[in-house]
Amino acid sequence: MKFRSRSYAAFAISNNVFLSLLGLICILPLIHVLAVSFSSRAAATANIVNFWPVGFTLDAYAKTLDNEKFLTAMWIGAERTILGTIISMAVITMASYSLSKTSIRFPGRQVYTWIFVFTMLFSGGLIPSYIVISKLHLLDTIWSLVLPGAVSVWNMILMLNFFRTIPQDLEEAAYIDGAGHLRVLWSVYLPVSMPSIATLSLFTMVSHWNSWFDGVIYMSKPEGYPLASYLHSMIVSDNLSRIGVSAESIANFSNRTVKAAQIFIGALPILLVYPFLQKYFVKGIVLGSVKS
């Protein structure tokens, strides 16, 4: 690196410091949640836990991991995330390939894009969607979680824009070699698009992992809930006004340490996926720089 001017050095240092601070601000809440999960119930009730457990105990984790439903839900969450991401990325990649062509090469592409963009904004709402899923006999199947959101138009548009930046001559060279479109997509587009594919896969995974509403709606028993649906019901039930409160139930309702443990364990898998995908867009330079 050649930028050793003094001002750049000063910039680099302050940049490092600034970004480190930023990173710190971002991780503190999670540390707080973590600390709560290791604290005693009383400490959590009084909310005196900051960033270090008060009355250290592993109870919350014991209870969480002992809970069969939690583990089942985690598995279903993983299942839908993996299946959903594969389907979604496959569908989107193919469509984006076509739609990234110019109107000259693919007249009519714009009809398609507008058809898709329209659905980004307009939706029929809960009831008709439910009726469709129900008529297709997809209720209580993993497909009800995977298929309806498979065509993420947002991701599709990003993808087609990424594809557009791929040099034309790469593609043409392939055609000259006699490759078909699928072949070009597979062996020319995909390898050079790893950073974007990693990015969009991440978006897809995250949204699958986090969506809870469809699970609640389309599954008839909590045994079918993905983790997000399961957690949602655990975490948001703080409002007791609708429920008669009994001396017995109150203590269970207020168990914040277990909630904290569940939040943490629940977020863990998707947090762990990140560094793995990250390498594609931090080190992706090598791929992105394929020369023509």
Partner 1 sequence: MKRYVKLAKGVTLSLVIGMLPTLAACSDNNSGETNNAAANQAANNGATKTDVPPNEIYKQKFDPPITITTAVVDDGASRGNAFKPGESMEDNVHLRWMKENMGIDIKFDFIVTKPEDYDTKIRLLLSSGGKLPDVFGAPGDSVQNLIDADRVMPLNEAIEKYAHPEFKKILEKYDYALGEVKRDGKLYGLPGFFMGDEGTVMWIRKDWLDTLGLQPPKTIAELENVLKQFTENDPDGNGKADTFGLAVPLKEGPWTWMGQTDAIVSAFTKQMINTYDVRSYWNKGDDGKLSYGAIHPDAKKYLETMRDWMSKGYMDKEAGIKDPMKASEMAASGKAGVMFGPFWMGDWPLNDATKLNPKADFQPFPLPAGPDGLVGRAEKSITAGFTMFNKDFKGIEAWFAYFNKIFAKNLEQEGDPYFDPRFKDGYHEGYDYVNLDGKIIKGNYKEAGVPEDKWPLKDGSRMDMRFMIANGILGGTTTIPFSNDEPIKKFLADPNAEPLTTREFDVKQMVKKQITAAGVRMNQGIEEGKNYFTGPMTETMKSKGELLKKLATESYLKIIYGEKPLDYFDEFTKQWLENGGEKITEEVNEWYSKSQ
Partner 2 sequence: MASYWRKTWPFHLLVLPALILCIIFQYIPLFGVVIAFQDYQPWLGIKKSAWVGLTHFRTLFEYPDSKQVIWNTLIIASFKLVINLFVPIVFALLLNEIVKTYFKRILQTLVYLPHFLSWVILGGIMIDILSTDGGIVNRVINAFGGQSIFFLGDGQWFRLTVIISDVWKEFGFSAIIFLATLVGINPALYEAAEIDGATRWQQVIHISVPLIMPIVIVVATLSLGRILDAGFDQILNLYNPLVYSHGDIIDTFVYRVGLNNGQFSFGTAVGLFKSVIGFILIIISYRLAYKLANYRIF
Subset of residues 225 to 254 that bind partner 2, contact rule: CB under 8 A: 235-236, 238
d(CA 80, CA 87): 10
Figure out which of the listed residues 150, 170, 173, 179 binds partner 2, where binding follows CB under 8 A: 150
| Interface with partner 1, residue 141, by CB under 8 A | no
- 210 lies in the binding site for partner 2 (CB under 8 A): yes
Report the sign of the C-alpha dihedral through residues 4, 8, 10, 14, in that order: negative
Binding pattern for the stretch 157-196 against partner 2, x by CB under 8 A and - elsewhere: xx-xxx-xx--------------xxx--x---------xx
Return left, alpha or beta for 161; rule: phi > 0 is left, psi -120 to 50 is alpha, else beta.
alpha
Strands (E), the chain: none
Name which of 69 and 164 has its Cβ closer to partner 2.
164
| Cα angle: 210, vertex 211, 213; to 5 degrees | 145
What residue 1 binds from partner 2, partner 1, none (CB within 5 to 8 A, per partner kind)? Answer: partner 2
Sign of CA dihedral 147, 69, 207, 132: positive
123 binds partner 1 (CB under 8 A): no
Listed residue (29, 30, 42, 65) closest to 256, CA to CA:
42
What is the DSSP-derived secondary structure letter of residue 224?
Answer: G
265 touches, from partner 1, partner 2, none (C-beta below 5 to 8 Å by class): none
Should residue 252 be labelled a site residue for partner 1 when binding is judged by CB under 8 A? yes
Q: How far apart are CA 30 and CA 51, in angstroms?
A: 9
For partner 1, the closer of residues 204 and 229 by Cβ is: 229
Query: Does the footprint of partner 1 cover residue 50 (CB under 8 A)?
Result: no
Residue ranges binding partner 1 (CB under 8 A): 40-43, 45-48, 59, 67, 69, 126-127, 130-131, 134, 216-217, 220-222, 225, 229-230, 233-234, 236-255, 258
